[in-house]
Amino acid sequence: MKILVTGGAGFIASHIAEACLARGHRVVVVDDLSRGKIEQVPTKARFYRADICDLRKMEKIFRQEKPQIVNHHAAQIEVRKSVADPALDARINILGSLNLLELSLRAGVKKFILASTGGALYGEQDYFPADEKHPIRPRSPYGIAKRAVEMYLYYYRAVHGLNYVALRYSNVYGPRQDPFGEAGVVAIFCENLWRRQIPTINGAGKQTRDFVFVEDVVRANLAALKPGVSGEFNIATGIETSVNRVFALLAQAVGSKVKPVHAAAKKGEQMRSVLDYSLARKVLGWAPKVNLGQGLKLTAEYFKP
């Protein structure tokens, strides 16, 4: 099949593009390189530097390539930026996604796969881990936008027959994650430890997250290609891990005895977030394979200077 991967020069989607090529699929990568890196685009993929909000340019790409699958990872990914500028977040994450959905209809795309979010969607959880039936209470424009696109996907399937899968990721980590700006705590800690800088932990470090390795996320995207599979699925481990524990494991992997400093907690930050992946196991036949210790060692090795 021909698969168009948006954001394919970025952390997660570049791994997905590689895996799709390895499975024998033809891959087209679209990325504006605002965050992605050209060197992460697989050499066998056809690459277009383009912004998904540029409808005219995207129309040309869809006409030329005629993709059968769209795997949509291009996004404004910073929660704090979405709070500071909700209109910008909506323009990219909602209107940009709508461009792709409309073009997918015209091109006869068979399935639209969306990189959605778990923690930012469910908000403060009523129970742990949260399954897909948990109340949706996003506390950021970023989470609201992801939910809006999920609802648009439901509409496009119900009215136009466009099949879709929305993968609600927990906290994805692994090689190629950007340690700069508002990035994942794992990548930031790796950079700090290898550079012998003192890491900063916001709050007491007891806040928990569900850390899922990027290779497992890639396998979920491949499983989403199965015919007849549709809907929203949590992609996670079902295991809560504190930020303090993640730091300790990474320090051990690097061989560092440095101690972190603790700063003020981020206002409004969730204290606990963990997702139930039972539905993905039942419908997609997916379950995480890489445990946190293994994944953190592989990630630390990637960031080694």
Residue entry with tokens 């050499």: 43
For residue 94, what is the DSSP state?
I
Question: One of 48, 142, 156, 173 is an active-site residue; which one?
Answer: 142
CA-to-CA dists, residue 63 to 7, 8, 25, 40, 244, angstroms: 19, 19, 19, 25, 49
In whole angstroms, give the CA distance from residue 209 to residue 155: 31
Comparing CA positions, the residue from 159, 139, 168, 166 lying closest to residue 80 is 139
Catalytic residue list contains 142: yes
Tell me the C-alpha distance between 253 and 255, whole Å: 6
Strand (E) positions, the chain? 2-6, 26-31, 46-49, 69-72, 111-117, 163-169, 171-173, 200-202, 208-209, 211-213, 231-235, 241-242, 261-263
Count CB-CB contacts under 10 A for residue 283: 17
Structure tokens belonging to residue 202: 């916001």
What is the crossing angle of helices 243-254 and 185-194, to 10°? Answer: 40
- 29: how many CB neighbours lie within 10 A of its CB? 28
**Do the beta carbons of residue 211 and residue 292 sit within 8 Å?**
yes
| Residue 231 φ/ψ region, left for φ over 0, alpha for ψ in the -120 to 50 degree band, beta for the rest | left
- Two tokens at 209? 């997250």
Active site residues: 142
